[in-house]
């Protein structure tokens, strides 16, 4: 497979694309990188240092259609013209995680997906193993690409945050441990607006698993349990739950009971108070169970697990405490780009909330938030180009609803409405691309505006 005559074309020259290019070059492929937009300087330098040919600002189709294999950036839709032409030509298309998987050697993989909580669970699982002395890397959506890690510093274990877009283009990718946290409607524009297509995409994480592999899933998610009840899963399924009716003490898995988290695996059990977990909120109890079971399946002992949980810090832009200004607390949850994330954020709030919503709406159904908004939210600040859906959804529930389109104005308006003891929560439920580069940019601008108060 890795002979000099094989041509590898990479579409998209960001982290995953450049990682695949570097690994491909190392493995003897003739590599060409094509990006429809502008390539960032540090990625260009990485390609130039290895003598990898590339183009930017458009695709030269004849330089693409002569490929033996094409690695496609997860951000590129199958509907764009160049991908349609590639598919029609019958060229193999794979994602970067699939390409990297083929060169992983004897290393083992914990792959984590879900609509919400992927990054936190990935980082926590990595933290538990790394503090436990494992030779482990954290890769995928959360930062370094899987392919680049293999090319530059191979490890015994990889904890990978995996998106549905990456799973769409796998063929052989087979994690030793797969984790499915939850499934709620998201990215439906990429799935013909059919929820069942998105569900099937998420479940691809387990499609190549064997009976010796582990599939860790949330038993309280009815979408997940319904799919499992009607489809064949080869891996051993391990459940985690908070529902008293779902607890099966005799089986491997995780559960919460009387404010304690229990994790059991292969006859060894561990429990600790949920108040000793460094990250708070019901959603993080789910994430902690998933991470804890994953670490146990990898071989981390129970006593180490309890010790390592306590030292974990959360991730930036996910329910991140920013500051308290004259009794008003500011929380940055810019990573909440769908309604379900906002539901979890509001569910964890114990004080009255000034909620900042808005951005590029992906067809959100705000009815899911109605009960929590009615109970906890005293005002909504909209930040976006089109705020009409938010006004329409909450006009009879919250007063006032204010429109802004600059983050400093947004924070000032929220602060003016807040009273001592209130929380200003940036949890937008929308993508950020209408006014910001990405959710990180949105979160950074929020934090900067808070510091300027």
pLDDT: which is higher, 27 or 198? 27
CA distance 55 to 37: 9
Are 444 and 338 in the same domain? yes
Are 387 and 289 in the same domain? no
pLDDT: which is higher, 342 or 192? 342
Mean pLDDT over residues 383-395, rounded? Answer: 92
In a domain, 402, yes or no: yes
Residue carrying structure tokens 């003598």: 51
**pLDDT for position 217:** 98
In a domain, 278, yes or no: yes
Average pLDDT, the chain: 92
In a domain, 67, yes or no: yes
Among 310, 336, 362, residue at a domain's last position: 310
Q: What is the pLDDT of residues 137-150, one digit of tens each?
A: 999 987 789 999 99
In a domain, 125, yes or no: yes
CA distance 214 to 204: 14
Are 122 and 201 in the same domain? yes
Interhelix angle 282-298/339-347, rounded to 10 degrees, is 100
Among 94, 113, 148, residue at a domain's last position: 94
**pLDDT for position 318:** 81
Residue carrying structure tokens 């502008």: 38
Are 254 and 337 in the same domain? no
Are 395 and 270 in the same domain? no
Strands 423-426, 401-404: pairing is unpaired
Cis peptide preceding 400, ω within 30 of 0: yes
CATH of the domain at 62: 3.40.50.720
Are 138 and 269 in the same domain? yes
CA distance 353 to 396: 17
Residue carrying structure tokens 């590898």: 8
Are 83 and 106 in the same domain? no
pLDDT at 198 over 80: yes
pTM score, two decimals? 0.76
Mean pLDDT over residues 15-43, rounded? Answer: 95
Are 299 and 326 in the same domain? no
In a domain, 216, yes or no: yes
**pLDDT for position 142:** 78
- pLDDT band for position 2 (cuts 50, 70, 90): very low
Least confident residue range of 254-268, 358-372, 433-447: 358-372
CATH of the domain at 167: 3.40.1190.10
In a domain, 1, yes or no: no
**pLDDT for position 1:** 43
What is the percentage of the chain residues whose pLDDT exceeds 70?
97
Mean pLDDT over residues 207-234, rounded? Answer: 96
CA distance 305 to 155: 21
**pLDDT for position 141:** 82
**pLDDT for position 103:** 98
Among 94, 119, 148, residue at a domain's last position: 94
In a domain, 315, yes or no: no
Mean pLDDT over residues 51-79, rounded? Answer: 92
Are 351 and 276 in the same domain? no
The residue among 205, 140, 141, 194 whose CA lies nearest residue 168 is 205
CA distance 411 to 431: 19
In a domain, 447, yes or no: yes
Are 269 and 415 in the same domain? no
**pLDDT for position 186:** 66
pLDDT at 314 over 80: no
Are 228 and 348 in the same domain? no
Counting the structural domains of the chain, the total is 3
**pLDDT for position 451:** 95
List phi, psi (to 5°) of 124. -70, -45
CATH of the domain at 384: 3.90.190.20
CA distance 142 to 129: 17
CA distance 127 to 150: 19
pLDDT: which is higher, 434 or 417? 417
The residue among 111, 116, 67 whose CA lies nearest residue 87 is 67
What is the percentage of the chain residues whose pLDDT exceeds 90?
74
8 A C-beta contact, residue 431 and residue 385: no
pLDDT at 5 over 80: no
Domain of residue 304 covers: 99-310
**pLDDT for position 128:** 96
- pLDDT band for position 90 (cuts 50, 70, 90): very high
Are 263 and 369 in the same domain? no
- pLDDT band for position 3 (cuts 50, 70, 90): very low
CA distance 341 to 209: 29
């Amino acid at each position: 497979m890795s002979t000099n005559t094989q041509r590898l074309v990479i579409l998209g020259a960001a982290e995953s694309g450049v990682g695949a290019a570097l690994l491909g070059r190392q493995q003897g492929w003739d590599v060409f990188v094509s990006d429809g937009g502008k390539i960032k300087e540090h990625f260009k330098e990485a390609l130039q240092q290895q003598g990898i040919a590339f183009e930017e600002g458009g695709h030269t189709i004849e330089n693409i259609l002569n490929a033996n294999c094409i690695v496609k950036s997860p951000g590129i839709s199958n509907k764009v013209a160049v991908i349609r032409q590639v598919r029609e030509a019958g060229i193999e298309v794979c994602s970067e995680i699939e390409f990297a998987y083929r060169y992983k050697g004897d290393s083992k993989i914990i792959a984590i997906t879900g609509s919400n909580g992927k990054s936190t669970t990935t980082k926590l699982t990595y933290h538990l193993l790394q503090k436990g002395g494992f030779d482990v890397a954290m890769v995928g959506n959360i930062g370094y690409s899987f392919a680049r890690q293999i090319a530059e510093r191979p490890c015994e274990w990889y904890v990978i945050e995996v998106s549905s877009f990456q799973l769409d283009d796998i063929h052989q990718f087979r994690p030793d441990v797969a984790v499915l946290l939850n499934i709620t409607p998201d990215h439906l524009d990429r799935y013909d607006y059919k929820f069942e297509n998105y569900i099937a995409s998420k479940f691809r994480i387990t499609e190549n698993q064997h009976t010796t592999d582990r599939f860790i899933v949330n038993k309280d998610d009815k979408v997940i349990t319904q799919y499992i009840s009607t489809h064949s899963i080869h891996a051993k399924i391990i459940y985690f739950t908070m529902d008293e009716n779902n607890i099966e003490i005799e089986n491997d898995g995780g559960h919460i009971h009387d404010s304690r988290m229990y994790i059991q695996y292969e006859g060894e059990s561990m429990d600790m108070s949920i108040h000793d977990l460094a990250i708070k909120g019901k959603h993080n109890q789910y994430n902690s169970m998933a991470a804890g079971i994953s670490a146990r399946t990898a071989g981390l002992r129970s006593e180490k697990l309890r010790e390592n949980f306590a030292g974990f810090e959360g991730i930036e832009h996910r329910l991140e405490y920013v500051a308290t200004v004259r009794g008003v607390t500011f929380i940055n949850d810019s990573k909440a780009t769908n309604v379900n994330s906002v539901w979890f954020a509001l569910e964890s709030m114990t004080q009255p909330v000034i909620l900042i919503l808005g951005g590029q709406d992906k067809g959100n159904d705000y009815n899911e938030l109605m009960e929590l908004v009615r109970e906890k939210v005293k005002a909504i600040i909209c930040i976006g180009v089109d705020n009409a859906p938010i006004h329409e959804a909450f006009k009879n529930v919250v007063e006032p609803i204010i429109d802004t389109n600059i983050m400093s104005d947004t924070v000032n308006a929220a602060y003016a409405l807040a009273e001592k003891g209130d929380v200003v929560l940036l949890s937008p439920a929308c993508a950020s691309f209408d006014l910001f580069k990405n959710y990180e940019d949105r979160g950074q601008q929020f934090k900067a505006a808070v510091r300027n108060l």
